[in-house]
Structure 1
Amino acid sequence: MAKKVYPQDPTSSPCMSHGPETYTLWMKSLILHSNGCTVYDSNGVIVYRVDNYDTKGRRHVNLLDLRGRVLCTIHKKLLAFGRWDVYRGSDNSNFKTQEKPWFQVKRCYKMVTRKITCQITVECQKYCIKKIGGKTTFQIVNIDGDTVADAKQKHSSSGVVLGNDVLTLDVEGGIDHSLIMALVIVFGLICGRM
């Protein structure tokens, strides 16, 4: 079991992976199967996690790597309007001391289609999260309309559809995967899944 939790090379960092990768998202915490998210890479190694414990829809959530190091803190800023500030490498105690968030996410709700979308600006890059089809399917798209990440319900190798809380996330190369995971976590909070 230790092999699945800690990689063989302790200096490697999955957070800065820039090649294409397929992740498995389990929308549960490893702690007592409570609220949160556990992310596995294509080799079955835990690379990211969020532990909300028994509190669903928290205002402060930390995205952790496999060793428990805080990669970013997600803070719900405006309750009525739906804005989330994401601070890089902070925790619940010191994110308020940082002047500027890494990026912000604004929720948009399309009245005609009743679909939730999000707009994200990270420095000079812009992204959009679009919910597509069923409850769990969504895409992260850049300003040029290119899909950088695609999430859908996971199927087993024999074709059996797994539960709504198990997703496959395909992430394109050339982008910081910890950014994509932070976007996925914010979207999970917006949709009330965490």
Structure 2
Amino acid sequence: MKMFSKFKSLSRTVHEEQEQEPMEQTTYPRIRNEGKSVCCTTSLTVWRKSLLISCNGFTVIDSNGNLVYRVDNYMGRTDQITLMDASGKSILTMCRRRKLGLLVSWFMYEGEMGNKSRRRSTSSESESPICCVRKHFNILKGGNVQACVYRTDKRRCAAFVVEGSYANRTCKVMDESRRVVAEIKRKEADTKHVSFGVDIFQLIVYPDFDPGFAMALVLLLDQMFE
């Protein structure tokens, strides 16, 4: 696609300082402690647009201009979102559950979930959620916490918090020790008079944190704050 080729070229111009090896598929750090994690900082360009015509979604490419993740949503805002890899394989599925009042929870599952007609019946797929993500509400105190990520077996204490402003594309994901594990940043161009706006931005993922998990958090922030 011409549009995608242009986007690949655009990504290379802003990632010249971050030459990296291709990303590996990893598991979910601190949520699940098995498998590998990335050992270097990963910079992804996130485009708030699907490559499919008449479809909402996201397109994510790496510093070499290669497609890494995609989201193709035919229904607009929905109660279920699936993050796929470049080949279209489902990596993570987020399902929204509503309760009385303001509380809305998103449960994250590995693979494709929630649709029995399409669900894969493999032994590696877990029926239990990886984590629960909630929009942060604090009517008594100020602060810039956007969302909290809870382990399914320990919901009173957040495993990760997201602080900043997703609407302005300036967010930090921090673990329990307040270490920054991922960041959402406005995309800067080295060419004068070029503005990317808020539909094209950067996702920086630091060592030992999974890029797929970080991108899934971006999708949920987009549902919560857009």
The structure with the largest strand share of the pair is: 1
TM-score normalised over the length of structure 1:
0.81
Alignment of 1:1-194 (within 5 A): 14-16=24-26, 18=38, 19-32=40-53, 34-53=55-74, 55-78=75-98, 80-94=102-116, 99-111=127-139, 113=142, 115=144, 117-122=146-151, 126-132=159-165, 135-158=168-191, 160-192=194-226
Instruction: Report the secondary structure of 1:110's partner residue.
Output: coil
Q: CA RMSD in A?
A: 2.9
Identity %: 26
Q: 1:163, 1:174 → 2: CA distance?
A: 30
Task: Verify the 8 A CA contact 2:70 2:83 in the aligned structure 1.
Answer: yes
Contact conserved, 1:76 with 1:84, CA < 8 A, in 2? yes
Residue type of the partner of 1:30?
L
Q: How many residues align?
A: 184
> Secondary structure at the residue paired with 1:109?
coil
Q: CA deviation at 1:161?
A: 2.7
Match of 1:9 in 2: none
SS of 1:141 mapped into structure 2? strand
Secondary structure in 1 matching 2:53 = coil
Give the partner amino acid of 1:71.
I
8 A contact 2:145–2:161 mirrored in 1? no
Structure 1 residues 108 and 70: alpha-carbon distance in aligned structure 2, compared to 1, 3 A threshold: same
Structure 1: unaligned runs, 5 residues or longer: 6-11
Give the 3 Å change call, closer, same or farther, for CA 83–133 of structure 1 in structure 2: closer
Is contact 1:70–1:91 with CA below 8 Å preserved after alignment? no
Aligned 8 A contact 1:153 1:161 in 2 = no
TM-score, normalization by structure 2 = 0.71
